Chain A
Amino acid sequence: MQATSTVEKPPAPPESSSRTWRKAFNDIAAGTQQRQLWAHLGWQDIKQRYRRSVIGPLWITISMGMTVTALGILYSNLFGKNLGEHLPYLAVGFIMWGFISGCITDGTEVFIQNEGLMKQLPAPLSVHILRLVWRQTLLFAHNLVIYFVVLAIFLMPISWTVVMAIPAIVLMMASGAWVALLFGIVATRFRDIPPVVGSLMQLIFFMTPIVWDAEILEQKGGSMFIAKLNPLYHYIEILRDPLLGEDIVLTNWIVVGAITIVGWALALLVLRNYRARVTYWV
């Protein structure tokens, strides 16, 4: 009666590889379904940082407000620009940059930092990605308050194009997800990537028109190409234009759309091939 159940063993299934598209998409589908889990963890991450502080996550908004005000005053003077024009420009750029750099730098460590969890509790990889994107989105939302403050102070003119901010934010989140997925998997295997990316981000920040306006390049007799070859420029522009009431530039949207599609294709390929290896690598 206590016979081992090996007797009723069914015949071995056809060799099923762990490297299939079906398993990769299942991972994403299963992760998306666990919305309560990643939403909770993402919010937890933020509360965590401000635990025992009196005003809590409001510090995110305050620190962004201080940075934007100080740098706005400094750079509008440096470039001889009108404060009412340059400060909103810089504010939106900074808010956007916060999200982008957050997704990239945290993305490289998304699995490395969750090693404990990954070895304790089985969960789809996409749960960790969604948690990160959700956390960055919440931070972004906190920072966006600054935009509305700036809007009120400078009484900026807003046109109908402001609705384009919504698809811009969606594209930004979609890109954040593939970046975290791709960089996360590759960086778990090659541990030089997080420090390399970390130091590159500093450089990219200065190369991207955030505190400076790309038009200055032209005015000073330089070439706009320095700015336009930078993919992040286009990401920042698609949100900055609608929020500042400027005209929509189709090129920016095409570039961002193309990067999102190519990036996802690449990230899915890496997910398909190395999904099952990540727990071995962390």
Chain B
Amino acid sequence: MVSIDVWNAAVDFPIFDAKSRSLKKAVLGKAGGKIGTDSKVPIIEALHDINLSFRHGDRVALVGHNGAGKSTLLRLMSGIYEPTRGNARVEGKVAPVFDLGVGMDPEISGYENIVIRGLFLGMNRTQMEKRMDDIAEFTELGDYLSMPLRTYSTGMRVRLALGVVTSIDPEILILDEGIGAVDVEFMEKVRARLKNLVQRSGILVFASHSDEFLMELCNTAIWMDKGGIVEQGPLRDVLTHYKGKDPFENASQETLDRIGETRSVAASGSNEST
């Protein structure tokens, strides 16, 4: 059973400045007794009072301003951060994609980076080699895959990372907004592939500023602000409250058709909620 459950979780980051991070301070601080708040490490409360529960089939959009805690929440769900207070339990194979560029070795080839990322996500070498053709075709990187990663543009790195996570059939797919760096044409491919993937796999959590993308892929949403959840519920309601207007109203007819929504429902939906 694929699930993500978080109970009253908080994530506090200790900020060790150059002084308090040193051993000298810790040792001398003990010897000389505490002077005021000097020995205390300042803390940034990145997340607080997070309660959520996702089950198979949930496709969750994560919206909020920069610094609202979206990426931290995604890292909490990926198991990278364990909550400092409260609880989090994640069951299922998680595949996260965060800001690209870091976590990939610039000196080794695209192929090798694909294998390493796959190994990190719990695959083995042979499984990754089987998927290599599929990834090469999807990413359209072709011969570039044998070039060292430092020759890649940001968009190409995003393609590579997306190629890996979408090829390994993860149960929980976690996407951060960084994936916006690819061109429109490729975005269409990603859209189709992600849609297909979320239908098969368990849970998608997606942080993005692109309404259209969210509307197409997600059904529920969480609005984050200042490290807390402001609202969670159906995508349309949350987006309407977050943006102050119904995003479905301005969407093109084509988009609406694709996601199976109608403008009239959108209008009534926004009336109810406001």
Interface, chain A (partner B; CB < 8 A): 2-6, 8-10, 12-13, 15-16, 18, 34, 36-37, 40-41, 44, 48, 51, 116-123, 189-193, 196, 276, 279-281
Q: Are B220 and A2 in contact (CB under 8 A)?
A: yes
Closest to B71 in A: A119
Residues of chain A within 8 A of B24, CB atoms compared: 192
- Cα–Cα, bound, A191→B81 (Å): 21
B153 nearest CB across to chain A (Å):
19
On whether the beta carbons of A13 and B22 are closer than 8 Å, the reply is no
B80 touches A44 (CB 8 A): no
Distance A2 CA – B38 CA, assembled complex (angstroms): 50
| B259 is an interface residue with CB less than 8 A from chain A | no
CA distance A41 to B82 in the complex (A): 25
A281–B82 CA distance with the chains assembled, in angstroms:
13
* A123/B120 contact (C-beta < 8 A), A4-B233, A190-B22 known: yes
List, in ascending order, chain B residues with CB within 8 A of A6's CB.
51-53, 232
Residues of A within 8 A of B84 (CB): 280
Asked if A119 and B80 make an inter-chain contact with CB atoms under 8 angstroms apart, the answer reads yes
| Known interface pairs A5-B58, A190-B23; A120-B103 also in contact (CB < 8 Å) | yes
A121 in contact with B7 (CB, 8 Å) = no
**How many angstroms between the C-alpha atoms of A4 and B89 in the bound complex?**
18
Query: Considering only CB atoms and an 8 Å cut-off, how many residues of chain B contact the other chain?
Result: 51
What's the A-B contact tally at a CB cutoff of 8 Å? 107
Cα distance, A18 to B82, chains bound together (Å): 7
Contact B108 A12 (CB under 8 A): no
Smallest CB separation, A1 vs chain B (Å): 9
Closest to B222 in A: A4
Q: Are B103 and A121 in touch, CB under 8 angstroms?
A: yes
Contact bitstring B121-135, A, C-beta under 8 A = 1, else 0: 110110000000000
Q: Which residues of A contact B232 (CB under 8 A)?
A: 4, 6
Contact between A13 and B108, CB atoms less than 8 A apart: no
CB–CB B120/A5 < 8 A: no
Q: How far is the CB of A272 from chain B (nearest CB, A)?
A: 13
Instruction: Tell whether A10 pairs with B53 under 8 Å between CB atoms, given A36-B125, A118-B80.
Output: yes
Q: Measured between C-beta atoms, what is the minimum distance from B257 to chain A in Å?
A: 19
Considering only CB atoms, which chain B residue lies closest to A44 in the complex?
B108
B96 CB-CB contact with A under 8 Å:
yes
